[in-house]
């Protein structure tokens, strides 16, 4: 291997002390780690930072000029306070040092420099707490460190921490760059030449020590391309590995289960369901594993498509597993699949069809005895269809012949989990994999996250749906509307319709603050006592039970046991039962997938607490049957505020694609990726998946060419190394979240 300076440990280059702080603050170990810590922005000498843009709580580094310096003794104790007021010519910021009178000497009105700290307000005055500063050099006898730091016209401003300022990071970077020798470039030379990109060594120098913005651009272009390229190589490799894997072809013409099922269906399939079905059939007949993403808006009927695929493989003698992200959803799939299949799901039981199968359910909170029964059905193959949560992935679950894995609401799973289940096929073959998502994603995001998958889209909803009417209710401006809403709940319940009331919190802090089984979801807002003004399931359910004494009100949230959740969902879904439920007060556990056709009304309290996509998903729980749906978004957010605007956007359309685009535009870059896939975030620092379409396209083409000619990357060692660390980072990130 050629020598690569980037892999050197930091200690030897910047000294033990600095290396330690860098490791502690940012987890940096090598020269590469430090050089990949790019400046957040660049300050220009002589150009002051606009202080009016700062927001409270933010950690900032600003360029400002000293306006005044005052020293006064402390009142209670010995010692003095130095108060420095800095300005950008318009606004002011006060920076206070305690017991550091010596600072007064260097601080003089008219001098400027970098000031960093946390912005706060005190008696209507802006100030910096935990301040640190570095003044620009004035004369010859000034700090040589400062002179070196400001040699260039552009001053890099780094993401910093309390223990490490931006200019200390700049100092460490300078030491590294001064001694940087040969750098191994993950982008092969021929690609660099065609794309007109700077080599890595040059790009790193320019991003950290640019003379002008043209140099910054040059560096960024190259580094962005690299991020896109390395990721596309990983995806191209995965695709190629998959193409080399073998799967058993699962194709039977007019299989008995599927034929019988289609006859039973109470509706006709949409054109989209038919054509996607045909694509899947074709994949299943192949001898390489299918790897397909099915995207379709909430309510577009993905489950039927998946179920028909599962029945095909059962017809061909194999088994299918359906993986759901929550117990509620797994339980619902289990029940609805059994209902849809009717006698076809009762093989070996009284009244069951001869050529039918069985459906097994595996979840984490199942009792051991029950689990054993289900596991037996799975291992013998009696259960052709196995529904479950990640309990399905465990080692103890053995399939007789796993042919197809379907992952529902895939954004809640990582690549790892998909892979673990895929490893359960027989004899070194792989199962076919279908992943489904209700979050429509733009092409570039799909290319970045699912570049290893083929994509099918259901773009229409089944006919005959009545659109959901959505209204925003302001508790401040229209308190009467909320009262009217509860009246409406009574009217709906009187007609045996189901009502959801969604709250952002579970509540009950101090009473049962800890989890009692079940999987509490990360986005069920925790029980921070300062949030008690936010509607909680416990209190809302309690007061509704009092206010609506004739109605049957129950709760559903992540802290309930699996059995309790299951019981509530069953009673809510089945209107024929005498112990049914009229009003279900729930957290976002009902966000994904829940399908109760008789539910037609949803009231979301403190709706501004939820994101656009989340509200769209939640709303998708009503208006799924023939009943017209109504969704009320209740909020106390001010008219004209961003939160209120978001709610109005959700109320204005039910088009998931439109909302998802809007959502992405409003999100920060890092959140875009984590919203569609756990664990793909750390590797992208500069690339913006929604905006850098062109770069992603070109990187993808280049990546495919490389992988085609050198799949193992034996003649591209630096690239191979970059890929290894990308994969390691993603895994670490995923494990951290799991």
Binding site for ligand ADP (CB under 6 A): 267, 269-270, 273, 296, 298-304, 438, 462, 593, 595, 597, 624
679 binds, among Mg ion, ligand ADP, none (CB under 5 to 8 A by kind): none
Cβ distance to ligand ADP smaller for residue 250 or 308: 308
Q: Measure the CA–CA gap between 311 and 366, rounded to whole angstroms.
A: 25
The structure tokens 């685009």 sit at: 661
Q: How far is the CB of 656 from Mg ion (least distance, A)?
A: 12
Contact of 594 with 618, CB cutoff 8 Å: no
Q: Are strands 125-135 and 112-122 parallel, antiparallel or unpaired?
A: antiparallel
Q: Which does 270 bind (CB under 5 to 8 A by kind): ligand ADP, Mg ion, none?
A: ligand ADP
In the complex with ligand ADP, the residue whose CB is nearer, 248 or 303, is 303
What tokens does 13 get?
């280059």
- What is the phi/psi pair of residue 518, to 5°? 75, 165
Q: How far apart are CA 660 and CA 632, in angstroms?
A: 20
Given ligand ADP, Mg ion, none, residue 299, with its beta carbon under 5 to 8 Å by kind, binds: ligand ADP
Q: Judged by CB, which is closer to ligand ADP: 371, or 621?
A: 621
Question: Could you tell which of Mg ion, ligand ADP, none binds residue 152, using a CB distance below 5 to 8 A set by kind?
Answer: none
Q: What are the DSSP calls for 416-470, one per residue?
A: HHHHHHHTTSSTT---EEEEEESS---HHHHHHHSTTSEEEEE-SPPTTPPPPEE
Within 10 A of 343 (CB to CB), how many other CB atoms are there? 14
Q: How far is CA 461 from the centre of its chain?
A: 26
Cβ–Cβ under 8 Å, residues 43 and 211: no
Structural contact between residues 537 and 505, judged by C-beta atoms closer than 8 angstroms: yes
Give the one entry of ligand ADP, Mg ion, none that residue 298 binds, where binding means its C-beta sits below a cut-off of 5 to 8 angstroms depending on kind. Answer: ligand ADP
Are the C-beta atoms of 322 and 306 separated by less than 8 Å? yes
Nearest distance in Å: CB 476, ligand ADP: 34
Query: What is the closest distance, in whole angstroms, from the C-beta atom of residue 675 to Mg ion in the complex?
Result: 17
Q: Which is nearer to ligand ADP, 269 or 717 (CB)?
A: 269
Judged by DSSP in three states, 478 sits in coil
C-beta closer to Mg ion: residue 295 or 601: 295
Which of Mg ion, ligand ADP, none has residue 597 at its interface (CB below 5 to 8 Å by kind)? ligand ADP
Q: Which does 273 bind (CB under 5 to 8 A by kind): ligand ADP, Mg ion, none?
A: ligand ADP
Sites of contact with Mg ion (CB under 5 A): 593
Query: Which among 467, 460, 466, 464 has a CA at the least distance from the CA of 274?
Result: 460
| Between 182 and 262, CB nearer to ligand ADP | 262
Cβ 297 to ligand ADP shortest distance, Å: 7
Tokens 């300076």 sit at which residue? Answer: 5
CB 301, min distance to Mg ion, A: 9
Smaller CB separation from ligand ADP, 300 or 654: 300
Q: How far is the CB of 408 from Mg ion (least distance, A)?
A: 6
Three-class secondary structure assignment of 293-340: EEEECCCCCHHHHHHHHHHHHHHCCCEEEEECCCHHHHHHHHHHHHHH
Which option in Mg ion, ligand ADP, none does residue 269 bind, with CB closer than 5 to 8 A by kind?
ligand ADP
Which lies closer to ligand ADP via its Cβ, residue 113 or residue 301?
A: 301
**Choosing among Mg ion, ligand ADP, none, which partner's interface includes residue 681 (Cβ < 5 to 8 Å by kind)?**
none
Contact 346, 356 (CB under 8 A): yes
Of the pair 51, 594, the CB lying nearest ligand ADP is at 594
CB of 298 to ligand ADP, least distance (A): 5
Q: Closest separation between CB of residue 614 and ligand ADP, Å?
A: 15
Residue 737, classed as helix, strand or coil, is helix
């Amino acid at each position: 291997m050629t020598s690569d300076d980037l892999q050197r440990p930091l200690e030897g280059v910047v000294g033990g002390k600095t290396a330690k702080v860098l490791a502690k603050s940012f987890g940096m170990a090598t020269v590469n780690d430090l050089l990949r810590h790019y400046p957040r922005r660049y300050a220009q000498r002589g150009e002051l930072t606009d202080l009016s843009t700062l927001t409270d709580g933010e950690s900032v580094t600003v360029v400002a000029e000293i306006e005044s310096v005052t020293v006064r003794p402390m009142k209670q104790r010995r010692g003095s306070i130095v108060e420095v007021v800095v300005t950008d010519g318009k606004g002011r910021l006060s920076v206070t040092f305690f017991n550091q009178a010596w600072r007064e000497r260097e601080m003089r009105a008219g001098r400027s420099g970098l000031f960093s700290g946390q912005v706060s307000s005190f008696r209507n005055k802006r100030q910096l707490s935990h301040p640190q500063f570095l003044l620009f050099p004035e004369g010859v006898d000034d700090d040589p460190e400062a002179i070196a730091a400001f040699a260039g016209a552009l001053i890099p401003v780094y993401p910093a921490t309390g223990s490490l300022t931006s200019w200390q990071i700049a100092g460490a970077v300078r030491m590294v760059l001064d001694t940087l020798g040969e750098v191994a470039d993950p982008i092969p030379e021929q690609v660099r030449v065609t794309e007109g990109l700077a080599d890595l060594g040059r790009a790193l120098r320019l991003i950290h020590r640019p003379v002008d913005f043209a140099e910054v651009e040059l560096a960024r272009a190259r580094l962005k391309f690299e991020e896109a390229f390395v990721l596309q190589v990983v995806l191209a490799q995965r695709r190629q590995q998959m193409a080399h894997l073998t799967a058993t072809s699962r194709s039977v013409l007019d299989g008995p289960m599927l034929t019988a099922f289609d006859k039973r269906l109470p509706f006709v399939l949409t054109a989209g369901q038919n054509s996607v079905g045909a694509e899947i059939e074709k994949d299943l007949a192949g001898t390489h594993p299918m790897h397909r993403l099915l995207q379709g808006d909430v309510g577009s009927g993905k489950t039927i498509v998946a179920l028909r695929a599962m029945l095909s493989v059962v017809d061909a003698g194999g088994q299918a597993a359906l993986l759901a992200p929550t117990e509620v959803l797994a339980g619902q799939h289990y029940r609805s699949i059994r209902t849809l299949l009717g006698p076809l799901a009762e093989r070996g039981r009284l009244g069951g069809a001869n050529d039918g199968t069985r459906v097994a359910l595996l979840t984490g909170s199942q009792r051991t005895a029950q689990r054993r029964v289900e596991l037996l059905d799975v291992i013998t193959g009696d259960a052709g269809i196995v529904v479950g949560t990640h309990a399905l992935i465990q080692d103890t679950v053995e399939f007789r012949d796993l042919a197809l894995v379907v992952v529902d609401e895939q954004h809640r799973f990582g690549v790892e989990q998909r892979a673990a289940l895929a490893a359960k096929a027989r004899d070194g073959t792989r199962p076919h994999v279908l992943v489904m998502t209700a979050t429509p994603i733009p092409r570039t995001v799909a290319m970045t996250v699912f570049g290893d998958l083929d994509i099918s889209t259901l773009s229409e909803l089944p006919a005959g749906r009545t659109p959901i009417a959505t209204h925003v209710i302001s508790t401040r401006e229209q308190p009467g509307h909320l009262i009217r809403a509860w009246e409406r709940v009574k009217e709906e319940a009187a007609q045996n319709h189901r009502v959801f009331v969604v709250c952002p919190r579970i509540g009950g802090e101090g009473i049962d603050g800890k989890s009692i089984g079940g999987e509490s979801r990360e986005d069920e807002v925790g029980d921070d006592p300062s949030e008690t003004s936010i509607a909680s399931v416990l209190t809302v359910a309690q007061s509704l039970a009092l206010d609506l004494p004739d109605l049957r009100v129950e709760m559903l949230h992540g802290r309930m046991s699996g059995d309790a959740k299951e019981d509530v969902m069953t009673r809510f879904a089945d209107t024929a039962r005498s112990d049914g439920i009229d009003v279900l007060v729930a957290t976002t556990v009902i966000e994904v997938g829940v399908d109760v056709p008789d539910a037609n009304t949803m009231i979301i309290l403190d709706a501004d607490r939820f994101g656009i996509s989340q509200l769209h998903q939640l709303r998708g729980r009503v208006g799924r049957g023939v009943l017209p749906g109504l969704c009320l978004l209740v909020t106390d957010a001010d008219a004209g505020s961003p939160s209120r605007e978001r709610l109005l956007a959700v109320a204005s359309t039910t088009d998931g694609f439109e909302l998802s685009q809007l959502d992405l535009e409003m999100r920060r870059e890092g959140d875009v990726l984590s919203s569609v896939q756990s664990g793909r975030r750390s590797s992208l620092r500069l690339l913006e998946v929604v905006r850098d379409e062109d770069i992603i396209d070109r990187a993808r083409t280049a990546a495919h060419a490389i992988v085609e000619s050198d799949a193992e990357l034996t003649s591209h060692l630096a690239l191979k190394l970059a890929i290894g660390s990308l994969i390691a980072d993603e895994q670490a990130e995923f494990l951290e979240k799991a």
